[in-house]
Every structure is written in structure tokens, then in C-alpha cells.
Amino acid sequence: MAFRWKNDLRDRDVTDQALWMNRRQIMGGLAGMGLAGAATGARAETPEPNTWEDITSYNNFYEFGTGKSDPLNNAGAMTIEPWSVRIDGLVDRPGDYAFDRIMEEMTIEERLYRFRCVEAWSMVVPWNGFELADLLELAGVQSGAKYVAFETYLNRDEMPGVRFPVLDWPYVEGLRLDEALHPLTIMATGIYGRDIPKQNGAPLRLVVPWKYGFKSIKSVVRITLTDTQPPTSWNKANAREYGFYSNVNPNVDHPRWSQASERRIGGGLFASREPTLMFNGYEDEVASLYAGMDLQENF
């Protein structure tokens, strides 16, 4: 039976596809896309639609360069067919799982989620994907596993950004096992009913809606079950600013800016900021995962 949660989001809250692709710009709207209402909810006017060129021209995927147009210009070279995910470590059935096989085995559904960036902007995105727990069940999680580690595709011939030590490549992330098995945690294969573009993490990416966006690792090629906490890229780069958990928390500021409020993409350059919700609005569903933890220390 499909997981049920107290989802207070509706179609009118969906961030426009143009705004998702160009989430650092104030652009585009829902008109002509079959999505009703404003991207920012009832408090904002419906933005105007943008061109396809706008939609795909501004994005972050550092493996393709740090410039905002670099992913568009360079991600086309990335090979995504054939694609497989290596699942190893503390599992009963380790191996390379072909993407086609994964898609045949998994139940794909739409999940309408809030998305909150550590940079204090936010949106609402309709993902298509499947619960990560189902994929882990396919591999068979062993009793000694406590964490799940993820790794992004790396090809120096196809990814000019990795020639520079912006991060320690390949990009890696991790979750506690109970976080990974939570029904809200999904592996996304699409956005707005379309395949995820390469510059946005094709063909398979993690989505953990109560955590900051950088935890939702793109273009996953390896999943490892382990009994020790795995390293994560931004934590390795700057542990003071980026903790392992990285839960959305308005009470714990980034060292360089407040996390108490956020700018909703689509609200215009002069839109007022909105209060940030604890766990990005999913407190009822996930707070029990952190019962008794000091969330100031375990940020």
C-alpha cells in the first residue's frame, strides 16, 4: 500500500518547471503547462512562462563547471545509456543493477514535495520516482547495516568541471539507514512527467525532502550499505558549514546566513521572505527519527 503522509500541498503550490530548471532566476510560470495556480501559492501572482532556452540554461552541477551555463553547455556529453547502479557492502545480493531492470521492478509514482536549498531559497516540485526502500529491499539489506552511502557518476573526459578541485571528486553523500528507509525518501527518475535532464541529475537521483537540497545527490552510480558513517562531499569540504545530517532547521543558521526564512522562487525580486518550516514542513513524519538528539550539535 502506498505511503500516506499529511501532505498539505496542492497543484497550485507546484513550482513552475521553468523556475525549477532556472531556480536561481526569477522566471517563468505555469500557463500552458496544465498546472493550476501560482508557483508560490495564493500569496503570489502567477509568473509568466519562459522559453525552453531559459528553462535549460541556468543550473548547478559542478562536475560540468561552476558557471551557471556550464551544465547546459557540457552535460550533453554525459553518457546515460546504458546506466547501472552498483549496490554493494552489507547486502545479500550485491551487484550492478541495470537501470532498465530497476525501472521494471519499481513502482513509479508522483510525489509533490517542498524543496529547500541551503542557500535559503525554496520551491515545490512534482517528482516521479520510487521509494529508495524498495530498491534496497531488492538488494537485501543485512542486519549489520547502519548507513547508506551514495556516489555520483564521474567521467573526466565528459565532465570538464572535475579538472578543478572544487570538491573531492567523485561527489558522495550519505544517510542513516532509517532515513534511507523512510517512505518519504525517493529515487527520482522524472520531473513534471518528463525524464530528468542530464544537467539536473539524469537518469536517477536521490530526493530527501526534509533535508537541504545538496543531500539529494545527482546521477547516482553506486549505493553502499555500511556500518560506519560515510563521508559526504560538502562536509569534507567544510565541516563547520555543512553537517552530515543537514536537516532543514530554522533554528540552526548557516555560519554565513540565517536559515530562519527563505525566498520562494517565483515570488519576484522584491517578494517578502517566508518563515522556514522545521524539517521543511515534514516534522510530523520525520521528527521521531531524531528523538533525543541535539539538533544544534547534529546539524
Q: DSSP characters for 145-176?
A: --EEEEEE---TTT-GGGGSTTS-SSPEEEEE
Select from 9, 7, 46 the least CA-distant residue to 30: 46
C-alpha cell at 105: 521492478
Residue 114 assigned as binding residue: no
Q: Is residue 298 a known part of a binding site?
A: no
- Residue 200 assigned to a binding site: yes
d(CA 218, CA 105): 21
C-alpha cell at 227: 556500518
What is the widest separation between alpha-carbon atoms in the chain?
Answer: 54
- On whether 152 is known to bind a ligand per the annotation, the reply is yes
Q: Is 97 annotated as a binding residue?
A: no
What DSSP designation does 137 have?
H
* 23 annotated among ligand-binding-site residues: no
Residue 102 is assigned to a ligand binding site: no
Q: Is 290 annotated as a binding residue?
A: no
Check whether 68 is labelled as a binding-site residue: no
d(CA 203, CA 97): 14
Cell triple for residue 93?
A: 545480493
- Tell the residue number behind the cell numbers 567523485, with chain if given: 170
* SS3 labels along 267-284: CCCCCCCEECCHHHHCHH
Task: Annotate 100-132 with b (16+ C-beta within 10 A) or e (fewer).
Answer: eebeeebeeeebebbbbbbbbbbbbbbbbbbbb
Q: Establish whether 216 is an annotated binding residue.
A: yes
Q: Residues marked as binding for Mo-molybdopterin?
A: 59, 62-63, 117, 152, 200, 205, 216-218
Annotated binding site: 59, 62-63, 117, 152, 200, 205, 216-218
